[in-house]
Amino acid sequence: MAVPDPFAEIRVEPSAEGPVYSDLAPSSRFEPAAYRLTPLRPSSVPPPQTAELERVLLEVLLAAAHADGVMCGREQRTVRRIMLRFSGGLELRPEIEARLRSFDPEEFDAQEAVELLLEIKPEQRRHVLELVREVCDANNAFDLEEERFLVDLTRALSLTPEDIADLVVHAPEGVHGAAKRCFDLAFSTAFLGAAWPLLLLLGLGVKLTSPGPALFRQARSGRDGREIGVLKFRTMRASGEDAAVKQARKNDPRVTSFGAFLRRTSLDELPQFVNVLRGDMSVVGPRPHAVAHNQHYRTKILEYMLRHKVRPGITGWAQVNGFRGETDTVDKMVQRVSHDLEYIRGWTFGLDLRVVWLTVFGKGTRQNAY
């Protein structure tokens, strides 16, 4: 008989406490906490009808970043080359060209940038959204709740909060962030205090069934893309774990018999409660991926890096919905990332409790477990 889900009424919806742009007055200065641009990929070269808009926006963003001292040297030269690529064979209206040339990074004014962007043809303004998405991938540089300049920009381009809602990704903050962290600490401490005999038995089982250490540390990307060492019980032969860049497959010969049991039941993840206590992870959140996987998929999936806005989790919304295990196609990773971002944007404390419940009693976490 299926176990009823007591948290079934908890829905994943955009938080009501998210940013409300209409209440924010335009700022007179651009004051970012951090700003970085990333080169656009060759496949992202804009069509001629949008090149003027994107070149203007790149000029604005470059000036803003330079004014804040974020970009220097090679990064600045890279963005300059991008802008030259956009300008090849195209001409801006004289008044726009003149205003671009008059930008002084030391005296950069957000209102001037907004007025400049208003010069762009109205039918082209919405194309700015795709460019912001591209730049948004640069190590999570943009958070539209924090960057008042982009609020001004949104107004100037006649974009509503709904138009850019999918760009707003931020971790629980204030009381909510403290509550989530307190839950992580309390849950992990209680679990490790109660389950240490089980952990010892599992470690002994690993040692007795194959040579090598019981635990190993995997290099993974944590919050804001920082590299962390994630602890796991070893489930493969010692020579097969390496950096764990190659994902485990069904009937993978590297997996030991006892390791297959650990993976099927997710017991190999239990040492990660130590990572939670250290502050590297959370009980619930997007699962941490290998650094090499991140470098690969960030070029394939536009919003991929936004999942690093929060601490990675031992379990997550994607996993309880069946998106765990090997992601041998881009489509599978897209589904996982989509659920990760859905979780971040709709986070509530009740949702975390629901994910924990479904991890233990649901069927989704049993799928693709090998």
User: Mind giving me the DSSP string for 29-68?
Assistant: S---S-----PPPGGGPPPHHHHHHHHHHHHHHHHHHHHT
- Do 246 and 138 sit in the same domain of this protein? no
Q: Which of 69-73, 195-199, 229-233, 318-322 has the lowest mean pLDDT?
A: 69-73
- Do 188 and 138 sit in the same domain of this protein? no
Residue 193: pLDDT band (50, 70, 90) is very high
- Do 200 and 346 sit in the same domain of this protein? yes
Residue 73: pLDDT band (50, 70, 90) is very low
Does residue 1 lie within any of the structural domains? no
Tell me how crowded residue 8 is: count the other CB atoms within 10 A of its CB: 10
Domain of residue 71, residue span: 21-167
Mean pLDDT across 161-190:
78
Out of 25-29, 272-276, 359-363, give the one with best mean pLDDT. Answer: 272-276
Does residue 8 lie within any of the structural domains? no
Does residue 2 lie within any of the structural domains? no
How many Å separate Cα 144 from the centre of its chain?
14
Does residue 155 lie within any of the structural domains? yes
The count of domains in the chain is: 2
Query: Among 167, 191, 225, where does a domain finish?
Result: 167
Residue 146 has a pLDDT of 39
Q: Which of 2-16, 189-203, 272-286, 318-332 has the lowest mean pLDDT?
A: 2-16
Does residue 92 lie within any of the structural domains? yes
- Taking the C-alpha atoms of residue 235 and residue 210, their distance in angstroms, rounded to an integer, is 9
Does residue 78 lie within any of the structural domains? yes
On average, the pLDDT of the chain sits at 68
Three-state DSSP class for residue 315:
strand
Q: Which of 10-24, 58-72, 106-120 has the lowest mean pLDDT?
A: 10-24
Mean pLDDT across 56-74:
46
The model's pLDDT over 118-174, given as tens digits with 9 standing for 90+, comes to 555 555 545 554 555 554 444 344 443 334 444 444 444 444 444 444 445 677 888
Q: Which of 156-160, 188-192, 300-304 has the lowest mean pLDDT?
A: 156-160
Does residue 6 lie within any of the structural domains? no
Tell me how crowded residue 83 is: count the other CB atoms within 10 A of its CB: 16
Cβ burial of 244 (10 Å; 0-12, 13-18, 19+) is: buried
Query: Is residue 325 pLDDT above 70, yes or no?
Result: yes
- Do 215 and 286 sit in the same domain of this protein? yes
Query: Among 167, 202, 221, where does a domain finish?
Result: 167
Out of 55-59, 65-69, 273-277, give the one with best mean pLDDT. Answer: 273-277
Mean pLDDT across 93-119:
53
- Do 41 and 185 sit in the same domain of this protein? no
What percent of the chain has pLDDT above 90?
A: 27
Does residue 98 lie within any of the structural domains? yes
- Taking the C-alpha atoms of residue 286 and residue 193, their distance in angstroms, rounded to an integer, is 25
Query: Among 141, 167, 193, where does a domain finish?
Result: 167
- Do 49 and 110 sit in the same domain of this protein? yes
Tell me the sheet residues that pair with 282. Answer: 313
- Do 134 and 189 sit in the same domain of this protein? no
- Do 204 and 350 sit in the same domain of this protein? yes
The model's pLDDT over 218-255, given as tens digits with 9 standing for 90+, comes to 999 898 778 899 999 998 886 544 444 566 666 677 88
- Do 151 and 269 sit in the same domain of this protein? no
- Do 263 and 357 sit in the same domain of this protein? yes
- Do 212 and 345 sit in the same domain of this protein? yes
Question: pTM higher than 0.85 for the full model?
Answer: no
- Do 196 and 154 sit in the same domain of this protein? no
Residue 113: pLDDT band (50, 70, 90) is low
